[in-house]
Amino acid sequence: MAPDAAVVPGGEDLGRAFASFTSATARLEREYGLLRTRVAALTAEVEEKNRLLVEGAERERRLEAEVVRQSRLAAMGEMAAMLAHEVRNPLGAMELFTGLLLQDLREQPATLQLAQHVARGITDLNHLVGNLLEFTSNRSVRARPFSCDAVIEDALRYTADLRLANRVAVEWRPSGTLEAVGDAELARPVLLNLIRNAVQAMPDGGTLTVEAEADGAEVVLAVADTGPGVPAEQAEQIFKPFFTTKTKGTGLGLTVARGLVTAMGGRLALGRAAAGGARFTLALPAAGIEGGDEG
């Protein structure tokens, strides 16, 4: 027997042992890879659950804050309604007597001008009281076709003194027979509010543009001014309760207006006028369109 054969006794056993070790190592590596994948998945799951817990806590905090806010609004609403009812009666008497006074002072221009200032102040207070009452009332809608021209004409007539004082010209071409479906008694104060806001945005004069046109199954009433417009960051805030850019405003006018329009099944939105000012659009179902008539 050759001398080399005795040098490596049990070579086959060693080979099998090495092969077994290699196989075990590969299996361990695979299991380690699977374990690492599982750990990564569990880590991601834990992180996701932590994120959901944080979001849930934040959502609960927001809900609690909203409940507190709504409670305060409800309390303020009750108080505002009570005060508005108490104030409205003496205001009505003041408005009546001031109207009689204006008639008596027609031949005294200087005194008449002072009385007109008082009359405008009373009108503003009446407008404020009306907004408070609308904000706190449960609105009942009687939807039926109404003339767009009639509602616009009323709103323009009620703001004639304010437009004259601010030297604001009006551009309005009656639409003729155009009718919308809604409650004219609710649409009128909405337009009145929009026109007042537009005129007040032009204290040094300007042009008020009022339009009414059919747009498919809707009628769109638009009120535009040549004032400074509304900054983009305030486009939605102006519809929130108590937000106002006026020094003497309450921030309820547009809130009430949007609430009335929504109650009629319409939309009130803010855009930008061609002249750069604000342009509010009131969209209501059109009369004579299937699904748009009363009932």
- Tell me: the pLDDT tens digits for 203-215? 999 999 999 999 8
- Residue 249 sits at the vertex; the CA angle it makes with 248 and 250, to the nearest 5 degrees, is 125
Which residues have a Cβ under 8 Å from the Cβ of 265 and sit 6 or more positions away?
Answer: 143, 182, 284, 285
Neighbours of 226 (CB within 10 A): 21
Q: What is the CATH number of domain 144-285?
A: 3.30.565.10
Quick check: 181 and 287 in contact, CB under 8 A?
yes
Which residues have a Cβ under 8 Å from the Cβ of 139 and sit 6 or more positions away?
Answer: 186, 259, 260, 263
Task: Judge if pTM exceeds 0.75.
Answer: no
State residue 133's pLDDT score: 67
Residue 101 sits at φ, ψ, to 5 deg, of -65, -40
Provide the strand spans (E) within the chain.
144-147, 168-172, 179-182, 206-215, 218-224, 267-272, 278-285
Q: Which residue has the higher pLDDT, 58 or 149?
A: 149
Query: Half-sphere exposure of residue 11, counting CA atoms within 13 Å on the CB side?
Result: 6
Which H or E run includes 57? helix 11-104
Domain ranges within the chain, ordered by starting residue? 10-137, 144-285
State residue 112's pLDDT score: 85
237-273 pLDDT per residue, tens: 888 877 677 666 666 778 888 888 888 889 999 888 8
